Amino acid sequence: MQLRYSFRLYPSTAQRTALARAFGCARVVYNDALRAREMAREQGLAFPKAGDLSKRFITEAKNTPERAWLGEVSAVVLQQSLRDLDTAYKNFFDGLKGKRQKVGAPRYKSRRDTRQAVRFTANARWSLTAGQKLRLPKIGDVRVRWSRMLPSTPSTVTVVKDSAGRYFASFVVESGPCEVLPTTAPELGIDLGLGHFAVLSDGTKVDSPRFLRRAEKRLKKAQRALSRKEKGSRNRDKARLKVARAHARVADARREFHHQLSTKLIRENQAVAVEDLSVKGLARTRLAKSIHDAGWSAFVSMLEYKAARYGRTFFRIGRFEPTSQVCSVCGVKDGPKPLHVRIWTCGACGAVLDRDVNAAVNVAKAAGLAVSACGAQVSPGLVPAQRGESGTHPTPQPSTVR
């Protein structure tokens, strides 16, 4: 399977200018090709092919005074921009045919987009120098902060500039069979939630970090400072960067938490089962901010690809399975229960069940995993106070019971 490794880049001032030129040229070629295809569609003409677009908007455009500056960047970057447009159209049409999830039609790129990227393939003859710098054509040797060694020789590298002004090099490498882990016995079911980020079928409960909630005060302060700055001023650009960096810290912390937890679960268990949640539907409710803060979709995606990478088994059960209504001990369906009911007693066998652990056990059983239901018979443990609730308050606060 193909894996992507991302490393931080630290280009010099001249290299930043060269990268900005590459971003701009790739964007112009993309927009020119998109405009040509849209005009052909409106006029009822045949859809222009990629080869014709490359000849018209790259090869011939370089010989015109209006587009002569396209020759200042690597031609591979411009070719990959056209490939990105082909991929965007393919995803759009596959969504209409039901082959994948629906996505919108390709849109024009703007110089004000918060994310800019260019891709170099092997044809661009990029390389790693003896000093472990990234040598890019018509850009130079860029300093890279390596956090690990690449498992194999990468096939492509994508240079990305995010909204916080940071540069990254994203390498695509092939993962070999040597990464398959030894077989182990445990099999696990996972119930995702908001009170606890994940509850495991063995009774373990993983607290929800709530990275966005904890950073709300700092984000609010930075956003207020941005709103006071005059549009188009340099001070507004500086304030916008502060807001973007604050959001980037939250996203990085959440991603690190997802990676650590997913790697731990995959390494320690032979099979993992989760419920296929409708995150898009849940995000339309009043809990939208907390649901986006949890990042369930990203976490489940990590579990899925890491299971394939390390030779584990991954199951995704249907979202309509009554995992919270069925007793994991005797299998009797006891009916739906309000959300404030966290512990309930089965009317058939008399087992005292924790709602979340019982759901995790049922998730594993629905996937056909051999798990024990004894983990559901647990007494409620102590829940640590969140950061906003801890400490001494100057005035007595009303207690809330959930």
Find out whether 126 and 85 touch, Cβ atoms under 8 Å.
no
Non-local (6+) Cβ contacts of 49 within 8 A are: none
How far is CA 360 from its chain centroid? 24
Residue 191 carries which side chain, given as an amino acid letter?
D
With contact defined as beta carbons under 8 Å apart, do 113 and 105 qualify? no
- Structure tokens that stand for 161 in this block: 């500039």
* Catalytic residue chosen out of the listed positions 32, 84, 187, 275: 275
Residues 6+ apart with CB under 8 A from 90: none
Q: Are 317 and 363 in contact (CB under 8 A)?
A: yes
CB 353 within 8 A of CB 377: yes
Smallest CA-to-CA distance from 267 within 206, 385, 181 is with: 181
The tokens of 80 are what? 């990959």
Q: Is 202 a catalytic residue?
A: no
Pick the catalytic residue: 187, 191, 202, 354? 191
Tell me if residue 191 is catalytic. yes
Q: Say whether 287 sits in a helix, a strand or coil.
A: coil
Place of tokens 């009911």: 341
DSSP conformation class of 333: B
Compute the Cα dihedral for 330, 336, 342, 346 and give only its sign: negative
Record the tokens describing residue 71, joined without a space: 């020759």
Backbone angles phi, psi at 350, to 5 degrees: 80, 10
Cα separation, 373 vs 64, whole angstroms: 73
Answer yes or no: 252 catalytic.
no
Give the whole-angstrom CA distance, residue 141 versus residue 134: 5
Catalytic center residues: 191, 275, 356
